[in-house]
Structure 1
Amino acid sequence: MSRSHFSRAFKKATGHSPRDWFQLARLTRAKELLEQTDFSITQVGMECGFADQPHFTKIFSRKFGMPPGKWRAKEKPQRKRPPNTPGVIKRTPTCAATARKSHSPAASAGV
């Protein structure tokens, strides 16, 4: 099968040229990495096969309308602050036995 015949058949089957389909697959993976990891933009681009960060940013921006860093800030779920934030001391027993011991009358009588 010739290259041009393959390209026509591929585009007919998928709606994309092989090059565009592969680039979309790389960009889709990049979006997953941006959302699910703390990799730098450069690391994400390299993991997805882009030669360098500027090229990755250019292609990503062209496809999705914003640079990857801005997309990440918009799409990545915000991390919740830990329950014990500075200035807030919250003491909770680690098990039921500890809770019973500290609140029993014998414990407060010093017995």
Structure 2
Amino acid sequence: MKISKQSIFVIVSLALVLAFSLVIGCASTQVRVPTEKVNAFWDNMDWGDMNKAEQELWSSVGYTEAVWNGDEKNPPEEDMYWKQLAPEKREALEKLGYTESFWNDGDPE
């Protein structure tokens, strides 16, 4: 069976489009993790600038778009210490870059 150059071109082009789509799709679901000034990083982020994975993690801690934008009251978790948070909420916050000290004390000066 002989494959034409045109067929090879089409196959390679489709493979590249598929690979590019996968890379873009993965990038949009990766959670950005700040390494310092965690509060400042997220405080300066608009809800619409977060990807779906980040929004889902914040939602699991009680935030919605309306809460994030200041249109609704902050969730009770905002006033809790790290050890008072449910384990699944601490896990979500860790994925967002928080540690116990960042959550309890805020960003270091």
TM norm structure 2: 0.32
Q: Which has the higher contact order (CA 8 A, sep 6+)?
A: 2
TM norm structure 1: 0.31
